Structure 1
Amino acid sequence: MISNNPALSRFLESYGIILVVLVMMAILYATQPATFLSATNLSNILKQNAYPAMLALGMFVVIITAGIDLSVGSVLGLSIICLAVADKAGVPWPIVLLIGPLVGTACGLVNGLGYTLLKLPHPFIMTLGTLNIARGLTSLISQAPISGLQPEVRFAGQKVFDFGIFLPPAGVPFSFFLVIICAVGLWFFLNRTNMGRHIFAIGGNPQAARVSGIDVDRVLVYVYAICGFFAGLAALLLAGRTDSGFPLAGIGNELDAIAAVIIGGASFFGGRGTVLGVLAGVLIMGLLRNGLNLNNISPFWQQILIGLIIIIAVYIDVLRRRAATRK
């Protein structure tokens, strides 16, 4: 019936993921009515999922091109240690705020240039190498957490605005607004600029993109630099929230970022996906973890359920691709 109703199909394609979020919220409210909608819990959900959202936004740009970046978690770790070391060394806070994004962007450029100049068969290889290099550099710089950051550095991760009339009344984290600003900026970049259209074109058909005159290698370098930039921003948010830089930061976060993008409706085959879907994917994972914690369910079940969701999301993507090829 759905396939015979184009309007309904388009609606579900665009907003089905939002319906999933609303259903999850309704279920969590039904199971934990006194806790789930509490001001503290809602504020914590927004704050805890800010830096994963930044990672997912960067990963989204890469996945649009049918690529992958396995290094974002390690890049986050390297960025957070670099900014923490600079902070403790007395570097002025405006410069400290820039260090995370700059380190992340530099790592992204290494990924992009290495992948394109070395003509590697897949970005998996380059980013897997960078994952290990960045993690090793992080441990060489510091093997212990560095805490006690400047108040201005903590601002992005800890500042909460209490508007009173808005949910949650306990306050809306500044990091939430920063994620929204970055998401809107990324949406504009991908949908309203030539570079953004080229990124989607490469994901749809890289050979056709080359024939049409697009400098595919140059665009891919920008793509991985953007991904690294978002990883550096994520490091800044995490450093602010935890008031520290620690060498184990970001371990496994690359898998969460990939999962959020795929759950949000992007395709591993490239060329499709939306920023709204990515944010919804992050929220679905955040709500899942929050709900399991509220119901005192083992965190190991989180890994199992998220793994199952990823498999289902990719399978749906495969079915969608098969259906499209038959038309």
Structure 2
Amino acid sequence: MLKKILFTIFSFLSVLAFSQVLGSKLDKKTLALGEVGIYKVNISNLQGKDVQSSPKNELLPFHFETVKDSISKQMDMYERTVEFQIFEEGKFTIPALDFKIGDQLYHTIPYEVEVINTAQKGDQINDIMKNKEVKLDVKDYWELYKWYILGILTLLALIFIIWNIVKYAKRRKSSPVMMTNQTLKDLEKLRKKKFIENGDFRMFYVELIDISRNFITKQYKIPADVLLTDDLIDVMKLNNTISPQNEKIVEEVFVRGDLVKFAKTFPDQQTMSKDFEDIKNFVKRSSKDLEAEQLRTGV
């Protein structure tokens, strides 16, 4: 019987000797608003085991504002110290917190903290000294508002630069050279559709005249996109911007296009090819018409 008692005591002491001891401590259970409290967790007899807990600054609950969270770990000792503040009156709880030591999970004991407002009703709060009126000069106002002023000036400069870039891009896009090149590209796309080779004269003249009308409208500032063929011919002659050679080409192709549209004529491939080349040459020669107009008007 004595041997059993001694064996039990020896086993108990062995467990105590080789087990970890988790302890926690709260320095104050009553705090004033904003007063710093200290919460400590200690683990002894660590035997080199790893300790896992909540990340730094996240150990305590929501109302506990962490001021400092420090961890110290040695071979046989672990200590975590959290300094905190609470900015609301009432009672708040630090719950049992989990600490994993090696493969074992341990829990601290919970604490209740009471936060009170130490200011008494009716207490008079006096300034240390009366407010002093300070006069500001131009330099002082500049120091106060210079970044706002520089920001506004930078924004205005940026708007001005963007506006000029857009204006230049629009002007360049609508320039005679750009318009000529774009129309030549449109004519090349029309040629690749092989309307001429396939004998599809109706679609050929519809697209050829649309391209031509759009070109005349933008290049010569004549509303060819809304005028009937007869009216357009009259306007071109009165306007006197397009050379007689180019006027004749436009008149012949547009009249033939109207006849094709109403099925009054059926042009062959040779005629379609000639009309295509005539319009293409007209587009290329348009710059000479504009140069002549500038000389005539003195622009």
Q: How does the TM-score come out when normalised to structure 1?
A: 0.23
Higher strand share: 2
Q: How does the TM-score come out when normalised to structure 2?
A: 0.24
Higher helix share: 1
